[in-house]
Amino acid sequence: MKRRKAAVTLAGAMLTVVTWATDAQAQPPPRPVSGYQVVTSTQVQPGSSLSDYQLPCPGTKHVLGGGYDTEGATAANSVDARTSSPTANGTAWRVRIDNSNVGPITVQLFAVCANTAP
């Protein structure tokens, strides 16, 4: 980390301002993406169940984001998402849904995928 010092004159008084900036090499450069694609899947989840879903990106693409939507809940707060996150290897989106309804619900999963440069 490089430390840069700058002197600033304000109304005749000399102030010393110290700022820190990282070397350009210490920060990874932005990774370009191509092949942007939104992958979806619809699942029916039984009532009174806890289910894990994984929606993989096609081929060698990596997940940039994701989420879920539910339909069919009969009571407020009867569906709880316990997890909505990328998998550890970054190639799929994971959702864990707790359906406390007596009946089934429809769960739609979304994964935003793209090719990323190394």
Helix (H, G, I), strand (E, B) or coil at 78: coil
d(CA 107, CA 51): 10
pLDDT value at position 110? Answer: 96
**Residue found by looking up tokens 């997940």 in the block:** 63
In eight-state DSSP terms, residue 47 is S
pLDDT value at position 26? Answer: 60
Which pTM does this prediction carry? 0.70
Cβ contact 79:73 at 8 Å: yes
Secondary structure percentages of the chain, helix, strand, coil, to 5: 5, 65, 30
User: What confidence tens digit (pLDDT) does each residue in 42-95 have?
Assistant: 999 999 999 999 999 999 999 999 999 998 877 666 889 999 999 999 999 999
